[in-house]
Amino acid sequence: MNQNYLFWRYLFTVFATLGLYSVLYRENKLYRFFEHLFLGLAAGWTMVALWTETLYDSWYLKIVGTSADPTGGGAGNGYWAYVLLLPIGAMGYLVFSKKHNWISRIPIGIIVGLWSGQQIQIWFNRYGPQINSSLRPLWPNHLTPFTIPADRPPTGPGSGATYPADIISNWVLVITLISVLSYFLFSFDVRGKALRAMTTAGRWLLMVGFGAIFGSTVMMRFSLLIDRMYFIWIEFFRTMILHR
């Protein structure tokens, strides 16, 4: 690759990075320029990715019948019924028409109907494993060793062995789960001391969980900052300027 082209490309990327981070000082026109530039590039990339990563494989190749057969039997048959999806999808763009924008509600109604029908399965696939994993044994069936052996298989025979170390973790999980759920008992007045203590503990445990989520979010932002600073000081300044 041409070094001059690479230099100017890196230089523009540095200006774009500094322009976006200039919002940390205050709102300014430089930040607005690079923000709109980024959004425009992202919109263009999304349109290309929509065709290359979704529509081409999942729609176009199924229509023309040139999608590869995973069994090695050659090209598959064309499914011409997929053509009907094109006018339905095109109806959505009539939202920009003042006269015919009511037509755009047809694909929206179809999507909402299909989406609503899938929610039962989606809900169970998402929360079913969480409910199942919350059912933990509270008494060990193996008293020795105390800690979990390193050779315990994750599945199959021996995977159901419960050791004292497991029980400690299980009690913490169950107490946390019951305390947090008791915090959301809003349909009646909480008067008992035990239940009030559980709701208070549930509120504190929720705050601990939210704090951990917030901390991970902050660390993710710092990871992005470190990556951009590494690009500016190492990849650009040291490589392209000092060793130019």
DSSP labels for 93-160? GGGG-TTTGGGGHHHHHHHHHHHHHHHHHHHHHHHHHHHHHT---SS-S--SSSSPPTT--SSSTTTT
Q: Does the pLDDT at position 39 exceed 90?
A: yes
Q: Helix count (H) and strand count (E) of the chain?
A: 7, 0
Mean pLDDT of 99-111: 90
pLDDT over threshold 90, residue 90: no
Summarize pLDDT for 211-225 with one digit per residue, the tens: 999 999 999 999 999
Task: List the single range of 11-15, 62-66, 84-88, 223-227 with lowest mean pLDDT.
Answer: 62-66
Q: Taking residues 45-74, what's their average pLDDT?
A: 76
Closest to 61 measured CA to CA, from 41, 43, 76:
76
Give one word for 156, left, alpha or beta, with left for phi > 0 and alpha for psi -120 to 50.
Answer: left
Q: Would the pTM of this model clear 0.75, i.e. be above it?
A: no
Mean predicted confidence (pLDDT) in 201-208:
92
3-state secondary structure of 75: strand
pLDDT at 218: 92
In this predicted structure, the answer to whether residue 66 has a pLDDT above a threshold of 50 is: yes
What does the alpha-carbon distance between residue 153 and residue 147 come to, in Å, rounded to a whole number?
15
Closest residue by Cα to residue 20 from 221, 171, 237, 238: 221
